[in-house]
Structure 1
Amino acid sequence: MPIFETNDVQLWYDEYGSGDEVVLSSASGFDGYPAVLANGPTNCHVFTIQARGFGRSTHLRAAPEQGWLDQWADDVIAFADHLGVSRFVYTGVSHGGGIGWHLARRHPRRLKALISVVGTPHDRDGDTSSSAGRRAVVENRGNRDVIEKQFRILGGSTDTPERAALREKTIASLVRSHLGYTAEEAQINQGMPFPEAKTNEELSAILRTVDVPVLILAGMRDGVISPESALRAARSVPRAKAVLFEDEGHFVARERPERLVAEVAVYLDELTS
């Protein structure tokens, strides 16, 4: 059974591939990406870690004292230590990307690179305790209409009937998943990455201190991670690279992971050249 124990909690993980490049990822759950990185053209050795508080990992009645994102980041490091991996590539989607940004600040020497997928730190509007959408979901847990509305906002617009049909399947799957959450899972609100930054200017100052190569993959139709937030990170982080897909939204990792794989393959080649 793929379970790793750390700090009195159990973390469920899955392993894919056997390539030389170790890629770690953490999130509440996974669907497609990043497991596809185990195949060509990337051929990585991928480990996906279900974050504490969710699914088959240990559930918690209260938030960790140091905050969810810092705790999840430290759990990734503990898992890497368990594997005996000193340096690795981290990739994360949405809140999983937020974990990566906290990893980059707390443990920069452990990362070869951060690949952030629709996960750059949010635009600031004064309240960094949560995005408005996440707050609505937590406060109205079990309310199908509220949850579905927030996922529709997240996904953004689509242009073709085929993409619209795929979007409906994505939203239906996410709504079912959230309605199936336990009470402990449903109350988790990780907040925004770097919550101490109350303005966009303060956020840019923090991003300028990130000393890790970063690839930013974002959708210009994303309903919560704006193109401006992706560009802010790209302008601020030394050695950053950004790829923005005009026709993608927040669900690109679920709906078209092959587009991400192509960009990751190019980036990993650039890292070693």
Structure 2
Amino acid sequence: MLTSLLTDEGVRLSVRESGPAHGPAVVLVHGWAQSGEVWPPAESFHAYAPDLRGHGESDVLADGYRDSATWAGDLRTVLDHTGPAVLVGWSYGGLVLTDYLRHHGTAAVRGLVLVGAITGIGPDRPGGATGRVMREALPDALSDDPEVAVPALLRFCAAQTPGAVPGVDVQRMLGTALRVPARVRRELFRRDVDGSEVLKAVDRPTLVVHGTADEVVHPAAAEHAAATVPGAEMRWYEAVGHLPFRERPERFAADLAAFVAEVGP
């Protein structure tokens, strides 16, 4: 089911819903140049997978992409709709979670799950450590010139995992990335923010999931998050890249369902 929500400033956000209607609420926040479609359908909880502004079916705005308060407000709109929920952030989605916590705290948060996630961005930010695949994609993947951007984005999508990504998945991810305007893709990287102080203040159960073979977001980013959030649990997925929920779907589904059950309805 596809739902449309309006933020306080009138921005339309598209949200994909799946899973049992009365199950616990889980908000799944996707990464850079992707959409809520990247998440597998939920079975044991009610999932809300928003498309971030500028992505997927959500509105594309001229600006605001560098502002922490903007991302916080968008996620607050989703939580106003879902009620208290477990927040799951994959890749750039982890940074959006820290944006939300910076401005709104944890009152509406049952728990946090960081999946292959960054929690900071900019030079020397420990929560923003990137791997070879991400570094090689930039700056070409941000170009307005399709002859430059398309090959870079294709290589980036195809290198998400240490093994071969199925062609149909690569094409789907590439198509999603190309729907995001180049200026939006650029703006998301023109931020400089450290989430360390936000992570230190987290007072909700937190699970950090990361593939040991992730070459998009370096495992050092996960180590930083796990060491900074009080009581966080670190769970490594051996020989897994940047897509734990696709590479090990049964294990990820079981881990997430157990975490949601632990933190309560």
Q: Which of the five TM-score ranges fits, normalised by the shorter chain?
A: 0.7 to 0.9
After the TM superposition, which residues 56-71 of structure 1 pair with which residues of structure 2 at under 5 Å, given as runs?
56-64=57-65, 67=67, 69-71=68-70
Equivalent residue for 1:179? 178
Equivalent residue for 2:23? 20
After the TM superposition, which residues 1-273 of structure 1 pair with which residues of structure 2 at under 5 Å, given as runs?
2-6=3-7, 7-16=9-18, 17-27=20-30, 28-31=34-37, 33=39, 35-36=41-42, 39=43, 43-64=44-65, 67=67, 69-83=68-82, 85=83, 87-106=84-103, 107-121=105-119, 125-126=123-124, 132=135, 133=137, 135-139=139-143, 142=146, 143-153=149-159, 155-158=160-163, 164=164, 166-182=165-181, 185-190=184-189, 195-197=192-194, 204=196, 206-272=198-264
Q: Give the AA of the match of 2:162.
A: S
CA contact (8 A) 2:56 2:179 kept: no
Cα distance in 2 between the residues matched to 1:253 and 1:167: 14
Q: Per the alignment, do residues 13 and 205 of structure 1 end up closer, same or farther by CA in structure 2, a change over 3 Å counting?
A: closer
1:177-235 deviation digits (Å, cap 9, x = unpaired): 3234445555442556xx333xxxxx655532333321111111111222222112111
After TM superposition, give the deviation of residue 125 of structure 1 in Å.
Answer: 3.9
Q: Per the alignment, do residues 233 and 187 of structure 1 end up closer, same or farther by CA in structure 2, a change over 3 Å counting?
A: closer
Q: Which runs of 5+ in 2 are unaligned?
A: none
Q: Give the AA of the match of 1:98.
A: L
Q: Percent of pairs identical after alignment?
A: 22
Give the CA RMSD over aligned residues: 3.0
1:78-132 deviation digits (Å, cap 9, x = unpaired): 232245x2x211112212222122223332222111111111336864387x974
TM-score scaled by structure 2?
0.79
Cα distance in 2 between the residues matched to 1:263 and 1:270: 11
CA contact (8 A) 2:208 2:222 kept: yes
- SS of alignment partner, residue 47 of structure 2: strand
Q: Per the alignment, do residues 124 and 150 of structure 1 end up closer, same or farther by CA in structure 2, a change over 3 Å counting?
A: same
Q: Which runs of 5+ in 1 are unaligned?
A: 159-163, 198-202
Cα distance in 1 between the residues matched to 2:204 and 2:190: 23
- SS of alignment partner, residue 55 of structure 2: coil
